[in-house]
Structure 1
Amino acid sequence: MNQEEQVQVLGLWGSPFSKRVEMVLQLKGIPYEYIEEDVYGNKSPMLLKYNPIHKKVPVLVHNGRSIAESLVIVEYIEDTWKTGPTILPQDPYERAMARFWAKYVDEKVMVAMGKAFWGPESEREKERKEAYEGLISLEKEIGDKRFFGGETIGIVDIAADFIGYWLGIVQEVSGVTIMTAEEFPNLKRWSEDFVGNNIIKEVLPPKQKLAALFKTPFRSAATSG
């Protein structure tokens, strides 16, 4: 990688937020240097320098300039590199809808799931129902489409990577079930197509290693960003 196009990703191997960034870079064929961060221990001087506000991963560093927050990074990559597949639709309305659903996944479904699995015991059932309702909306939205945007992977699929891969592992480890194949056949089919993509498959962390991670007490840094 030449100095004129230096791309670095500060990430965490088990974080679905961190993996979103790598997925898009890989899909677009953009070379990058990956730097693993110890967000549970001493945060590196590099992380503190490039994300002094939140001090979390992921962070994209492009030619010395940093961008934080996974979906913000995904849009930056889309706007900066025109190589490879498009992650956001070109049509303004479809683009707005894709942003809406990506934000819905992040701020509605993911938040509820986090609380359902790792929140206070007294609130978990309420949040499980909230997450379930969110999945119903996504089940209707995906319908019979291969991916949320159609035939190719887009920003909503990337945003929903936790649902496609991490969720099944967390359900198995925790014993808490939110999504089943019987109740959500469209999402189940989508998850198989998404995880089965050759490029996505290369980025995903090993299942056994993730299961071991989620058996330890939940730490918010693991899934932040």
Structure 2
Amino acid sequence: MLMPITYSEKSQFIKNYSHIAVELASNLKDFDNSVLLFKVLAHALRNNESIVREFDEGIFENPFAFQKGFEALLRHALSVATDSPETDIAAAVERVEEYSTGQLAKFFGVSVMTIHNWLDQGRFVGIKKAGSNKHNKIPDDTEFIMTSGKRILVREVVAMWHKQEAETSHKEESDLAYYTRQIAYYEDKYGDVFERTLGAKEELTAEEETDAQIWQHLLGRQQLEFGDKKK
């Protein structure tokens, strides 16, 4: 029995197909192999008449056209492999949104530093941290690995954030209530207050160090809010 193509794998292919096309068109060791693979795909895929009639030998002399030809074949191959209309595949490519680390920090409810730590830890599947003077853009179909090991798409986190925003617009939450609720999350996660858990450990894992920074920040903000209430 053939291995099925999962929704996650389909999304990953849609996200990366243009990069794969570059590899196939330009980066194989032997250019003749690239041409041969292109021709075999063009003739092997069914229902591809509308694509291949636009191709001729001249495509191999134009690197950009060759790459775009491979992209067209790869999109069509995915539609054949998953029985998805090619219009749906094209629409999915166009629908992918990309977010900066600052936007993700807002959606996840953490600091930008935490997002960078998660990038270092590989928790955004397939995304490598950008080098100096560069900024990461994370597609919304990227999988995020939660602490539990469960995977969730970035677009699902964004959707939950928008839903929560819509709900809180009807019922405003005070800053003190927010900080208290967030602190309760970490107390539940580690089984006690900060001073007797992360605050008492000499060596922390990367995740614990990130959580400790956020937890301390929340405790500080909570104390400030208590001080303002007493005035």
Higher helix proportion, which one?
2
Higher Cα Rg, which structure:
2
TM-score, structure 2 length as denominator? 0.26
Which structure has more RCO (C-alpha within 8 Å, separation ≥ 6)? 1
